[in-house]
Chain A
Amino acid sequence: MRIMSIEKVEPGMKVGRSIYSANGKTLLANGVKLTSRYIERIKELGIVVIYIYDESVGAIQIDDVVSEKTRLEAIKVTKEAMENIKLNPTLHLASINEAVNDIINELLNHCDTMVNLVDIRALNDYIFGHSVNVAVLSLITAITMGFNKDKLRILGAGALFHDVGKTAIPENILVRATPLTDDEEKLLEEHTTIGFHILRKIESLSLQVAHIALQHHEHYDGTGYPRKIKGDEINEFARIITVADIYDRLTSGMAGGLRFSPLQAVELIIANSGKFFAPEVVKRFIHIIALFPIGTLVVLNTQEKGVVVETFRDFPTRPRVRLLVNSQGNKINPPYEMELASNLDFYIVRVIEEGEL
């Protein structure tokens, strides 16, 4: 199994990991042989990379931080809640709380796993999948920061609802790839205050949740919106959500079409630490993201080529690599695995983004 850009995928290849639609339905199950029609459809949905089964790479185990079942359930309840929230504000909070609890419990049980998520979700209607991703990312960050369960629950709910105000924004502004006019930009920024007013009226929700929606676009240096507050004035939950939000938007390609690799996204976040993002959050956040996600093909300094099979929090640039091709370009059969963290003479020099081994 390996990660492959959709442009390089050819008919006849097999899906290495199931592909889901934005609302959690299985589009293509693991093992399905791709036809040109399937590939066209995947492209139309805005999916840019998928896992492909590759004989020479072999099977790779990916330990999800949160199981697919919990994730899909969370997407489903978020979608239901967001679509009905204005009509029936008291609704489904029980199911939302349950979804948040499930995510928290799973995360606490896998406290060492890194986020290897190469998200293969359809882009249109992405908002619900995005909300769940932000919840997972911000919760792991908060766990490493030592938050207790009560605080984690508020954060989780806040993450799922941080974009609730977008349900009141016209669709053509939300999905447009071309630049917005000033007026449209203003309207889009309104989603923070709209969300705040929706959420604060719900009695059974903590007021903090409403503040997360209000403040998740504030910047640490006071250049954000809507209130231009800065530093510690920003709600501590919102400071975490801001980082998780931008990471997911960058890596999914939501932010302006260009899709960032985890490495690029993390570098951008570090570069803006103290500017847009709270440094204490960034410091924790960067250690939970796998810079070279499992399934990435890499070239080592010895010109050997391999695939990333395991990642470690303490050594983000030194994963465990299964060596597939030796320095002369011959296939290594059977392949063996090496931990770069304990073999300092070996290091990654390049990521193979396309083409064959």
Chain B
Amino acid sequence: MLEVKEGKLLYQVCSLLLKSHAEPEIFEQIAEQLFKNLQVSCCSIWSASPNGGVGQQRLAFSSVEDTMPADLPTLDFKASLQAMESKGALSCQESQVIAGKQKLFSLTIPLSSHGHVVGAICFWFFNGAIRQDIVSLMTSLAADLAQGLHNYQSFCAHSHRRLNKELEIAKQIQTSFLPKKIAQIAGNSIAFQSITAYEVGGDYLDIFQTQNNLVGIALGDVMGKGIPAALWMAMTRVTLNTIAKSGVQPHVVLEEVNKMLYQDLVERDTFVTLLYALYEPVKKVLLLANAGHLPPLVFHSITGQYELFKVKGPYIGGIENRKYQLAGVQLIAGDVVLFYSDGLTEATNSSGKQFGLSNIVDVVSKNSLFDAQQIVDSLTIHVSQYLGNCQQKDDITFACLKVVG
């Protein structure tokens, strides 16, 4: 049962939401209202990234001006991140932290709409008693607030980026397929980067561990863009995953994928380039089969030389029942292998020049002593710097394997 005061507050917040036409200021007003009426020390509202990929944004932050510790905004960010990752329907998380000399208590509530976490709301207070009033108020308010956030996000997606629904879905499909977490194996480091373009391309990257503890790396590119490309990508991924998980040799995997997809691809007049590499972390052997994708770069640490690891093969959907070749390379500590899509080599700057292989070689060799993650980050910085203000036309995807010890 809500108290009168809370009922009034609920009414105020809901009417604010109703009146709004998805202006961001509305959330500042709501936070201000909640902050004042609930007598908390700080209240903040966070929006999760609208396309499920990266980034969250703080929409509102109201706090007592002077008495708050300086690192509260940072703690607040961490708490909201945790709340959004917990993905509970309406779970209240209570925690206490020591900020400066003061003990602070937080109550964070993830906000979900249509099964997706769209944001979070955080309250901070000095008094440690459980604030039943906040919990009961938020129980009634969470759904409305989540709907408001959802509306705001859709509005932003439409107006700012002119993203239409179709592209948004395609992007969602694509980002949700990227490897979530890479199993790090002692003595090797693996990292990847995928920078999606405004118009979604059909890049596909997967890194997984097979049943016999080898590392599978698959990189492909579907002809075309948008929803169709995303769907073909999904199909390729499922097919390859099913076959490759048991640890079969790469050329067999590609043969099977081609067999299963050939008919459909030919009928739709499209094709997929795909490479699949299998890495043996103990003996440090890399096996590779390639169906028309760009050859990976191999850097030899001892000589300082690089080579393109070329293996010939027609693309998936090219020739029916075609056998693929298998090739292998023995790696040693310090060697770096880079898998990449044509979005990287063909990234074009304002003067019409492409990033090209020479730049990639340059960046990787200049960073070859770092771990995979640093090499990937450096390459990202260099390619972004190169693009400057130019719009990226195609997805840029690459993965790096570094033999460390």
Contact = CB atoms under 8 A, between A and B. Distances in A.
Interface of A: 263, 267-268, 270-271, 273-275, 279, 282-283, 286, 301-302, 304, 315-318, 326-328, 332-338, 343, 345-351
Nearest to A335: B73
B304 interface: yes
Interface stretch (B100-108, B309-317, B371-379): B371-379
Question: B73, B81, B160, B195 — which one has the most chain A CB atoms within 10 A of its CB?
Answer: B73
Question: A267, A327, A336, A348 — which one has the most chain B CB atoms within 10 A of its CB?
Answer: A336
Contacts of B366: 267-268, 270-271
A282 B369 contact: yes
Nearest to B304: A274
Closest 10 A/B residue pairs (Cβ): A317-B377, A336-B73, A302-B55, A267-B366, A349-B384, A345-B54, A336-B77, A337-B74, A271-B366, A334-B73
A337 B78 CA distance: 9
Interface string B363-391: 10111111001100110110011000000
Nearest to B302: A274
Interface string B45-86: 000010001110110010000000001111011000100000
B373 A283 contact: no
Interface of B: 49, 53-55, 57-58, 61, 71-74, 76-77, 81, 160, 193, 195, 304, 363, 365-370, 373-374, 377-378, 380-381, 384-385
A263 B58 CA distance: 31
Question: B77, B363, B366 — which one has the most chain A CB atoms within 10 A of its CB?
Answer: B366
Given A286-B370, A318-B377, 11 more contacts: A263-B381, A267-B378, A270-B366, A274-B304, A301-B380, A316-B370, A335-B73, A338-B77, A347-B377, A349-B384, A351-B385
A129 B72 CA distance: 40
A246 to B, nearest CB: 15
Nearest to A343: B81
Contact of B57 (A286, A316, A326, A345): A326
Contacts of A267: 363, 366-367, 378
Contacts of A274: 304
Contacts of B76: 336
Nearest to A337: B74
A337 B377 contact: no
Given A304-B55, A335-B73, A345-B54, A270 B381 contact: no
B374 A317 contact: yes
Nearest to A292: B381
A348 B77 CA distance: 18
A57 to B, nearest CB: 14
A327 B370 contact: no
13 contacts: A270-B366, A274-B304, A279-B369, A286-B370, A301-B54, A302-B49, A317-B381, A333-B61, A337-B73, A337-B77, A346-B55, A348-B380, A349-B384
Nearest to A298: B381
A312 to B, nearest CB: 12
Contacts of A328: 160
Contacts of A273: 369
A222 to B, nearest CB: 16
B74 A336 contact: yes
Contacts of A347: 193, 377, 380
B402 to A, nearest CB: 13
